């Protein structure tokens, strides 16, 4: 069986990753490759960088997060540059607990999960290899074996800084088993694994009355006290708390701000000094990222308590807002649907787009800029230029939005995907469209007990806005399909326009081949096309000259200027033709019993929608009827 071969290959790969030797062997390796001595924050930063970084304009996009997080490039750049990059350089932010703060379902848990899984995979690569003292319960760096007095010389010679001291177990073993001969102490390669509690840990607070601090720092092994005679003997202590096991990597502190105070006190010393107190031992060194996540209301409650001032100063807060780009919101829903068992239900084109319009609009804040409404802001965030504004304005708009707390409230993806799920399974439809989902969203608001009336009214209004945006999109889609069905008419109209433009720009006349008359350029025809894309009277001459230059450029290169050679002119021709065909579309889509010619037109349009625009026969039929109804209003 193929699976047996996979298992065999898996075991071979795991066996190839294993390494064991002595401290002397490791010393030879680490001096040749100082990356083996990465501290935890440097390792995480190297892991993120290793996945690749793409610069688009002034924006950096980290590919490490590409497949799971969408629309958070700006936020992730800030997180990585301001925290991880600085921490990797041993700047003071390394001594801070990282707290991700944002609205529910905004991506905080996903970021943490990606870092965990990423570390597990990274330690299986050559660049991310991690070595530890063999038998150490905290998987500590073998360099801790080097006496403190020799470390300055070692750093000067090899450029490798050593921080931290041996744990009580390894110190005892060094003295009793190896007589202080550190070079003989065994070392091995370790692979991070949350499941096996190596380098990755998660602490979840529970009932303060029943939960013990031992869950964080380890506990006394009472069964061994009679054998070793003292609670201060390392062999009578279990170094199995989350802070112990997450050493060298990352510990997620779930619901940190809801924890009892005694669980937070250990973080004070850990964050600032890199150690914590456990049992009857000296301070125990730990090198790990402590990362937590919370929502804004919990954080406000936390900082309002004066008792938390010491811990508050040791926390660096990173805001994780909702995504504000419609195109990226679509990717979020596509990802969530693909993970379900109902991914085979067909979703009509633009359905998730219309849903995303609603979601994003609910998160935006009104700009103080004159002429900038929410829909325009949504479009410009998504990379479009709108009337009066272009992409040069986006940075200023985003800065203004951040000051207003944009993205920190609104409809969360979890609610939306729940309503999409409802629409998907309702009556077991083979296909659902935008109207089905928007209807499900609307119905869900009445069941959402936590939404106040004013907020509900606002969301109902935004559903109506999303519906209007979808209506325009649907019209354009059917318009294109009808225009394609009349492609020869489109080409004829284009050629007619180009003849008139050439005559206009050359101040010449047109020749009528039937009457042999010389005719002036048809201004009415040209303006009827140009007005479709908003070309003003003052701008018409510039636009026509631009077209003529494009034709000349094509001619010089031996290319033919065609229907799709100028995007804006193509759009204008389509709109003009569709306006001329509007009555035909109305009649064709609204009659119950079309004649043979009308039926042929409808079938041509539907074939175009199915074959070139990802519709299925069901939703193609529905959108044609729907657009017909819109045009007949």
Say what the pLDDT of residue 447 is. 72
Say what the pLDDT of residue 626 is. 87
Neighbouring-strand partners of residue 60: 55
Question: What tokens appear for 69 in the block?
Answer: 């997080």
370 and 280 in a common domain: no
Residue-wise pLDDT tens digits, 53-106:
998 877 889 999 988 999 999 999 999 999 999 999 999 889 899 999 999 888
Greatest mean pLDDT among 326-335, 494-503, 515-524 lies in: 326-335
Block residue for tokens 């504000």? 324
Is the per-residue pLDDT at 586 higher than 80? Answer: no
236 and 131 in a common domain: yes
Domain assignment present for 577:
no
Per the CB < 8 A criterion, the answer to whether 205 and 298 are in contact is no
Q: Average pLDDT of 514-541?
A: 85
Residue-wise pLDDT tens digits, 214-260:
888 888 888 888 778 788 888 889 999 999 999 999 999 988 888 77
End position of a domain, from candidates 569, 596, 625: 569
Domain assignment present for 602:
no
Residue 57 sits in a domain whose CATH number is 3.40.50.300
**Higher-pLDDT residue of 493, 112:** 112
The b-or-e profile of 599-620 (16+ CB within 10 A means b, else e) is eebbeebbbbbbeebebbebbb
205 and 246 in a common domain: yes
Say what the pLDDT of residue 461 is. 94
Q: Average pLDDT of 278-298?
A: 88
Residue-wise pLDDT tens digits, 468-482:
999 989 988 887 787
CA torsion, points 290, 292, 296, 297, in degrees to nearest 10? -110
108 and 201 in a common domain: yes
DSSP string, 96-156: SEEEEE--TTSSHHHHHHHHHHHHHHHTTSSTT-EEEETT-TT---GGGGS-GGGHHHHHH
Is the per-residue pLDDT at 427 higher than 60? Answer: no
Domain assignment present for 78:
yes
Q: Average pLDDT of 141-168?
A: 94
Query: 283 Cβ partners below 8 Å, 6+ apart?
Result: 269, 273, 275, 276, 277
Per the CB < 8 A criterion, the answer to whether 244 and 217 are in contact is yes
Residue-wise pLDDT tens digits, 317-330:
999 999 999 999 99
338 and 265 in a common domain: no
314 and 211 in a common domain: yes
Is the per-residue pLDDT at 142 higher than 90? Answer: yes
Q: Average pLDDT of 26-53?
A: 95
Question: What tokens appear for 246 in the block?
Answer: 């997450």
End position of a domain, from candidates 253, 287, 319: 319
380 and 308 in a common domain: no
Say what the pLDDT of residue 595 is. 66
Say what the pLDDT of residue 172 is. 93
Is the per-residue pLDDT at 591 higher than 60? Answer: no
Domain assignment present for 45:
yes
User: pLDDT averaged over the chain?
Assistant: 87
Is the per-residue pLDDT at 529 higher than 90? Answer: no
Short-list 43, 37, 36, CA closest to 289 = 43
pTM of the full structure: 0.85
HEC readout, 158-215: HCCCCCCCCCHHHHHHHHHCCCCCHHHCEEEEECCECCCCECEEEECCCCCCCCCCHH
Say what the pLDDT of residue 153 is. 95
End position of a domain, from candidates 444, 477, 510: 477
Is the per-residue pLDDT at 210 higher than 70? Answer: no
How far is the C-alpha of 588 from the C-alpha of 577, rounded, in Å?
16
Is the per-residue pLDDT at 577 higher than 90? Answer: no
Q: Average pLDDT of 448-460?
A: 82
What is the phi/psi pair of residue 98, to 5°? -90, 120
How far is the C-alpha of 280 from the C-alpha of 220, rounded, in Å?
10
Q: Could you give the number of structural domains in the chain?
A: 3
Say what the pLDDT of residue 583 is. 66
Q: Average pLDDT of 535-559?
A: 88
Short-list 168, 89, 96, 91, CA closest to 133 = 168
Domain assignment present for 419:
yes
**Higher-pLDDT residue of 604, 586:** 604
Is the per-residue pLDDT at 353 higher than 70? Answer: yes
How far is the C-alpha of 411 from the C-alpha of 363, rounded, in Å?
7
User: Percentage of residues in the chain with pLDDT exceeding 90?
Assistant: 42
Domain assignment present for 519:
yes
348 and 453 in a common domain: yes
Is the per-residue pLDDT at 496 higher than 80? Answer: yes
429 and 290 in a common domain: no
Greatest mean pLDDT among 27-36, 470-479, 518-527 lies in: 27-36
Query: 299 Cβ partners below 8 Å, 6+ apart?
Result: 99, 101, 257, 317
Domain assignment present for 486:
no
Say what the pLDDT of residue 343 is. 65
Question: What tokens appear for 326 in the block?
Answer: 């419609």
DSSP letter for 323, please: P
Residue-wise pLDDT tens digits, 290-305:
999 988 888 888 888 8
Domain boundaries, position 499? 492-569
448 and 346 in a common domain: yes
User: Percentage of residues in the chain with pLDDT exceeding 70?
Assistant: 94
Would you tell me the crossing angle of helices 434-447 and 453-485 to the nearest 10 degrees?
180
435 and 411 in a common domain: yes
Domain assignment present for 585:
no
178 and 94 in a common domain: yes
Query: 579 Cβ partners below 8 Å, 6+ apart?
Result: 532
Say what the pLDDT of residue 592 is. 60
Short-list 397, 328, 410, 326, CA closest to 363 = 410
How far the first Cα of the chain sits from its last, in Å, is: 63
Say what the pLDDT of residue 260 is. 76
Is the per-residue pLDDT at 425 higher than 80? Answer: no
Q: Average pLDDT of 201-222?
A: 82
């Amino acid at each position: 069986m193929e699976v047996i071969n996979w298992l065999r290959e898996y075991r071979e790969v795991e066996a190839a990753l294993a390494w064991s030797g002595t401290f002397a062997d490791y010393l030879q390796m680490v001096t040749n490759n100082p990356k083996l001595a990465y501290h935890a924050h440097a390792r995480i930063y190297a892991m993120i960088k290793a996945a690749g970084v793409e610069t688009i304009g002034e924006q950096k996009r980290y590919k490490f997060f590409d497949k799971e997080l969408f629309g958070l490039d700006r936020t992730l750049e800030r997180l990585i540059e301001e925290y991880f990059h600085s921490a990797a350089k041993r700047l003071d932010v390394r001594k801070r607990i990282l707290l991700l703060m944002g609205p529910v379902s905004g991506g905080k848990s996903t970021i943490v999960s990606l870092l965990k899984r990423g570390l597990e995979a990274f330690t299986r690569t050559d660049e991310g290899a991690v070595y530890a003292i063999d038998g150490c319960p905290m998987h500590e760096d073998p360099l801790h074996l080097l006496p403190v007095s020799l470390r300055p010389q070692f750093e000067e010679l090899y450029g490798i800084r050593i921080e931290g001291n041996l744990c009580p177990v390894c110190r005892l073993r060094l003295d009793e088993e190896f007589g202080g001969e550190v070079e003989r102490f065994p070392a091995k390669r370790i692979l991070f694994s949350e499941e096996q509690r190596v380098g990755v840990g998660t602490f979840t607070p529970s009932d303060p009355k029943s939960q013990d601090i031992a869950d964080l720092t380890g506990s006394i092994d009472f069964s061994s006290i009679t054998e070793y005679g003292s609670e201060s003997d390392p062999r009578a202590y279990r170094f199995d708390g989350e802070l112990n096991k997450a050493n060298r990597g990352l510990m997620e502190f779930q619901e940190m701000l809801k924890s009892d105070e005694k669980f937070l006190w250990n973080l004070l010393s850990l964050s600032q000094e890199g150690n914590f107190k456990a049992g009857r031992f000296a301070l125990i060194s730990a090198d790990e990222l402590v990362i937590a996540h919370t929502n804004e209301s919990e954080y406000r409650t936390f900082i309002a308590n004066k008792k938390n001032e010491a811990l508050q100063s040791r926390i660096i807060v990173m805001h994780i807002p909702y995504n504000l780009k419609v195109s990226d919101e679509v990717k979020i829903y596509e990802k969530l649907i693909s993970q379900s068992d109902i991914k085979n239900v067909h979703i009509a084109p633009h359905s998730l787009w219309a849903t995303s319009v609603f979601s994003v609009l609910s998160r935006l804040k009104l700009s103080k800029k004159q002429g900038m409404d929410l829909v325009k802001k949504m479009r410009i965030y998504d990379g479009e230029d709108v009337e009066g504004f272009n992409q040069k304005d986006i940075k200023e708009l985003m800065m203004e939005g951040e000051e207003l707390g944009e993205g920190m409230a609104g409809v969360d993806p979890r609610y939306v995907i729940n309503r999409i799920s409802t629409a998907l399974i309702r009556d077991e439809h083979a296909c659902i469209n935008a109207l089905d989902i928007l209807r499900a969203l609307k119905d869900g608001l009445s069941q959402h007990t936590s939404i106040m009336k004013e907020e509900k009214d606002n969301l109902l209004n935004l559903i109506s806005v999303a519906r209007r945006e979808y209506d325009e999109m649907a019209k354009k889609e059917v318009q294109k399909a009808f225009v394609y069905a009349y492609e020869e008419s489109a080409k004829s109209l284009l050629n007619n326009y180009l003849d008139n433009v050439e005559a206009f720009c050359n101040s010449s006349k047109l020749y009528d081949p039937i009457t042999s008359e010389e005719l002036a350029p048809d201004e009415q025809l040209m303006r009827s096309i140009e007005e479709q894309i908003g070309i003003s009277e003052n701008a018409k001459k510039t636009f026509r000259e631009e077209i003529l230059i494009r034709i000349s450029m094509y001619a010089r290169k031996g290319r033919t200027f065609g229907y799709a050679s100028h995007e804006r002119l193509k759009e204008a021709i389509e709109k003009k033709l569709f306006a001329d065909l509007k009555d035909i579309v109305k009649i064709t889509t609204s009659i119950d019993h079309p004649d043979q010619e009308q039926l042929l037109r409808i079938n041509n349009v539907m074939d175009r929608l199915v074959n070139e625009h990802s519709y299925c026969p069901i939703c193609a039929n529905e959108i044609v009827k729907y657009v017909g109804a819109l045009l007949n209003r």
